[in-house]
Structure 1
């Protein structure tokens, strides 16, 4: 049991010291998320609008 407490204390102390010494410039920048676009043409609103315009005259 004393070894567990000693290891937990050393880890906690290391985390506190690390947080005190890190500067905002040292922190890793968040990775940019990949732009999430339409998966297929049937999910693309521009494609569907263009398709509707093309088929508008054919419905008669």
Structure 2
């Protein structure tokens, strides 16, 4: 039973090391902070039109 506290420490460390950064990244994506920049890029792409013949 001495392995149980060690397993708990390992799992909590993995959670802190791996999942916390993923949660921060996903929260940023779901808050749609880059949405104005994406809309601006899409608008510029639409206004650029098709390339002309050379």
TM-score norm. by structure 1 comes to 0.40
Which has the higher Rg, Structure 1 or Structure 2? 1
Q: Name the one with the larger helix percent.
A: 2
Higher RCO (C-alpha 8 Å, min separation 6): 1
